[in-house]
Amino acid sequence: DTEVTQTPKHLVMGMTNKKSLKCEQHMGHRAMYWYKQKAKKPPELMFVYSYEKLSINESVPSRFSPECPNSSLLNLHLHALQPEDSALYLCASSRDRETGTSGRKKQFFGPGTRLTVL
């Protein structure tokens, strides 16, 4: 299995809703990432988990709450979002903190969840 899966593909939610995005990989990767991508912009890193521990939080508002229940799963819990949070949310994974040759830290991206906040 050489892919990262994300569910749902599309999500529409109101500002008072609570929802979760899910990301899964079975490549044995120990680093997982959440990115946010607005239209016509590059991806922006939100969070990094390394060995199931949060290692980078890019000053993301608390209405986004990441969770890494095990080495294969990464969730992003959403609560009280704003319309400006509408974006494509991308999950990625990579091998982490390993020495070696090419590609070992390459990030594999999932298909993304298109989120619309009304």
| Both structure tokens of 67 | 């969770």
Instruction: Pick the piece of the chain touching another protein (CB under 8 A) from 14-22, 65-73, 78-86, 94-102.
Output: 94-102
Please tell me the distance from the alpha carbon of residue 104 to that of residue 65, in angstroms, as a whole number: 28
State in angstroms the smallest separation of the CB of 48 from another protein: 5
Applying CB under 8 A, among 12, 15, 56, 118 the residue interacting with another protein is: 56
Nearer to another protein, 73 or 88 (CB): 88
- Does 22 participate in binding another protein (rule CB under 8 A)? no
Q: Which residues of 73-100 are buried (b: 16+ CB within 10 A; e: fewer)?
A: ebbbebeebeeebbbbbbbbbbbbeeee
Number of residues that bind another protein (CB under 8 A): 28
